[in-house]
Amino acid sequence: MIGKLNHVAIAVPNVAAAAAVYRGALGATVSEATPQPDHGVTTVFVELPNTKIELLEPLGDNSPIAKFLEKNPSGGMHHVCYEVEDIYAARDRLKAEGARVLGDGEPKIGAHGKPVLFLHPKDFCGTLVEIEQV
Amino acid sequence: MIGKLNHVAIAVPNVAAAAAVYRGALGATVSEATPQPDHGVTTVFVELPNTKIELLEPLGDNSPIAKFLEKNPSGGMHHVCYEVEDIYAARDRLKAEGARVLGDGEPKIGAHGKPVLFLHPKDFCGTLVEIEQV
């Protein structure tokens, strides 16, 4: 069912500093920082030949990554995102297999403008999983 | 400098159970479990179209992921691995940029039979980074 790894998201306290590390020490191609107020994050994309890394800094008062950064003040890997062809079919399969879908179970429009769902980390080896219909 | 994302490693308490989740709920192509006594882990590879996920279970008394699993008993994302063309050139660039290379700074042969180095998480936004010469 799952297709490509769309991205690995890394939460960071300061996206400009993180971008400088990826651009400098790691010599990667890094986008400009983009505030995404609807999603409570500022994003920087690290473009790799086969996938991307998303660096996320909290934005605003209700950022979905604020609690994670309280626990991990230096930052850390926050979630992985797998592509699916049909998000409703994926959701129904996951639920039938006993996996918990977060929120009300209805896909939301994610930071890339496409429908996404998040899955409970406890059902996926301690890893927060996002699925995105592409 | 860095090329493809070679893999995301997820440490798990039970690699057979983790493989069943990836094969079942997520419908992915999953390898057999392979004990790697030289590296202190049993590995399962989840083959995605553009990269892979490595599920790692501790093996033996001195597993390099034992401490991580003590802190994260349900498992969690352990490291990301980026490909480089020349591991010595990569190491020298990283050190010149102030990043800390773990261990004695000499590349070791990793679980794929290729030279690898690990970089200090504190220098990479709280994320343990492996670089692998491919």
ipTM: 0.96
Statement: residue A50 has pLDDT above 90: yes
pLDDT, position A1:
94
Q: Kindly state the DSSP code that residue B101 receives in the 8-state scheme.
A: B
CATH number of B5-133: 3.10.180.10
Sign of CA dihedral A47, A120, B129, B117: negative
Question: Is there a contact between B27 and A83 (Cβ–Cβ < 8 Å)?
Answer: no
pLDDT, position B115:
97
pLDDT, position B79:
98
In the structure encoding, which two tokens stand for residue A112, read together? 């890339």
pLDDT, position B89:
97
Percent of chain B with pLDDT over 70: 100
- In this prediction, residues A59-80 reach a mean pLDDT of 96
pLDDT, position B51:
98
Which residues of chain B lie closer than 8 angstroms to A93, CB-CB?
A: 25, 27
Q: Which of B12, B27, B122 lies nearest to residue A2, judging by beta carbons?
A: B27
**Residue A31: pLDDT band with limits 50, 70, 90:** very high
Q: Which of A8, A10, A99 lies nearest to residue B25, judging by beta carbons?
A: A99
The torsion angles phi and psi of A25, rounded to 5 degrees, stand at -60, -40
pLDDT, position B111:
86
* Segment B18-52, tens digit of pLDDT: 999 999 999 999 999 999 999 999 999 999 999 99
pLDDT, position B47:
98
Statement: residue B103 has pLDDT above 90: yes
Statement: residue A111 has pLDDT above 90: no
B74: nearest CA in chain A? A126
Is A49 touching B (CB cutoff 8 A)?
yes
Domain definitions of chain B by residue range: 5-133
Angle, CA A52 vertex, CA B53 and CA A105 arms, to 5°? 70
Length, in residues, of chain B: 134
What is chain B's mean pLDDT, rounded? 96
